[in-house]
A and B are shown apart, each in its own frame.
Chain A
Amino acid sequence: MGAELGTITGFIEIHPEYSCMAGPVPAGDAPIILVEGLEHIYGDFKAVDGISFSVKKGEIFSFLGPNGAGKSTAINVLITLLNLQKGRAAIAGHDVKTDPQKIRESIGIVFQDITLDRDMTVWEILEFHGRLYRMPLAERRERIEELLQLVQLDAKRNELTKKLSGGMKRRLEIARGLMTRPLVLFLDEPTIGLDPQTRMRMWEYIRGVNREGTTIFLTTHYMDEADQLSDRISIIDHGRIVVTGTPWQLKNTLGQDLIYLETSDNPAARRLLESLPSVREITEKKQGIILMVNEDGTRVLPGIIDTLRENGVAISTINLKKPTMDDVFVFYTGKEIRDEGQQPARGGFLRAARH
């Protein structure tokens, strides 16, 4: 199925066999991150199972996947906190294995959990980071002022970090990640646990940072976050990259619209509709079928209804919508995202249809 779709769309990298081959390198500049056949094993658990991808300079690239998919492990290998076990990875031309020091100098990191010293002030956190990276005094002080403005923590500069709200802490961490003007900024679940408003503001900061030329590598398990922020997304599950593409490309593989039908005879309906030229693919669910259509769904729908009526299949429910990243995720991984205790992402059409 995957390979078939790949040939239809033409420009999506699909990894049906989860091959160790490098994905096609984007045309133009050499990739700033290049990963080939990366594997990582904890004991007998394969957290990362042979992933390959590349990130272009200046883009926002996302790993989208459920918790435990291997996103953080992959990131920890890239930022040199975990040893590279198998495969190859390079950032800005420096090999992770042989040149970790060079990599540390050219990246910024925002970790998944808050890693701020509770007993240091906002200003001290940034000053300490600048000193760790050996920034000259004048440059350091200037950069701190710039960043305090950017993340709107100017008024909080002498506040101990334990007194900051969750959103402020996250903003401070992003500011810290940007202190050294890194080539690549790694953001591991940057908006986890933040309220919707703060998340949107965080996205604005991230976009702003990207506009200034910083390449962003982001992991997230929020569909909307990946969709809204990324230039390209790799969906990752069970330590493997399932598919890579732009949000638009990924959603487009599901056709222009999704139509959900519940009928008196679903297998018969499927057989009848499969031959329609506007129908790209049909998936059977527990109670109904989902059609991916190549044309505007509102124009296709009357034909579908007629076809079914003429053949004596009664329709009990019809629903029509644009594919969301949620649908893309369910389509490629065959399941909804595992997100303990969180609200399900809105608009989970394929997912809702499964029950």
Chain B
Amino acid sequence: MQDGFLTIYWRDMIRFVRFKTLLVSSLLQPALWLAFFGIAMASNFDVMMAGMPVPEGVKAVGYLTFMGCGIIAMTTLFTSLFSGIVILFDKNWGLMREILASPVSRNHIIIGIALSGVTKSFIQAVIIMGFGVLIGAAFFAGFTPVHVLIGIVGVLAFVAMFALGFLFLSAAIAISMESPEGLQGIMTLLTMPIFFASNALYPINNFPEILRVISAYNPMTLLINGIRYFAIGPDFYALGHHYAFTQMDILLSFAGLVVFTAIMFALAWWRFRNAVVT
């Protein structure tokens, strides 16, 4: 079966569009983060940072732009992790049986679900970038049109790889669990450290050593490095810290995400292969 995953994808997208409240809230939530948390924090931080000297020749970016990149990552994390709940509902309502009893291979089921998850994250990322620019975030500021295009493709490539990793993780946990409440608990437990032990809202350089190391290898940080590189630039100054990424840094970040996602795929594949759903 060569196109089984497209069938799964098609169905998932139908449902994404049809769950109107879920659709709207998933798009509105990140915008609200940007509008309230972003603007509130930016108005404070930008005043505090105003007096600090910016190194010669380095672009200074405001807090809204800085954390806007983090919000893209946060939305991707939430959407991907919680996508597993849909799998669990499918399982508990018996919808999964039709699929598991069909000739579609289990790999295709995983890939189909993953692709639809990535599509959802793309839609959200694009909306946040657009909305961010609208309320004053300096995404792609001073880029040529070609650069903007490369920037968007780069951001989406990072978002895709990261989303895949957490989709697989979420699917693996969901297929192994019985109750949505338990799943919700695990997901909430996971999101906290992943989100806060990252550079989404603040630089990690002044963290205590252990937390700094954990944060540096957090897939979330790797993703945000990529987003900032492509949306802001390789060299900028924000929150009192000079960010300078070489191409090698970014390649390594991406490679880190690839490794993470590969491990998560293996985990999901193993859980699905052993899945018994009746």
Contacts and interface: CB of A to CB of B under 8 A. Distances in A.
Of the candidates A115, A120, A132, the one having the most CB atoms from chain B within 10 angstroms of its own CB is A132
A128 B101 contact: no
B91 to A, nearest CB: 11
* A interface SS class: loop
Contacts of B11: 117, 120, 124, 128
B158 to A, nearest CB: 31
Nearest to B99: A132
Contact of A80 (B4, B15, B101, B104): B101
Contacts of A114: 94
Interface string A64-102: 000000001000100111110000000000000000010
Contacts of A115: 93-95, 97-98
A101 B103 contact: yes
A81 B94 CA distance: 12
A109 interface: yes
A351 interface: no
B14 A134 contact: no
B102 A132 contact: yes
Contacts of A129: 98, 102
A117 B95 contact: yes
Nearest to B109: A132
Interface in B83-117: 93-95, 97-104
Given A111-B94, A120-B14, A120-B15, A133 B278 contact: no
A128 B100 CA distance: 14
Contacts of B4: 132, 134
Interface in A111-156: 111, 113-117, 119-120, 124, 128-129, 131-134
Given A104-B103, A119-B18, A134-B1, 9 more contacts: A80-B101, A104-B102, A115-B95, A115-B97, A117-B11, A119-B14, A120-B18, A129-B98, A129-B102
Interface of B: 1, 3-4, 6-7, 10-11, 14-15, 18-19, 93-95, 97-104, 276-278
30 contacts: A81-B276, A82-B276, A83-B276, A101-B103, A104-B101, A111-B97, A111-B98, A115-B94, A115-B95, A115-B97, A116-B95, A117-B15, A117-B95, A119-B18, A119-B19, A120-B11, A120-B14, A120-B18, A124-B11, A124-B14, A128-B7, A128-B10, A128-B11, A131-B6, A131-B10, A132-B7, A133-B103, A134-B1, A134-B3, A176-B98
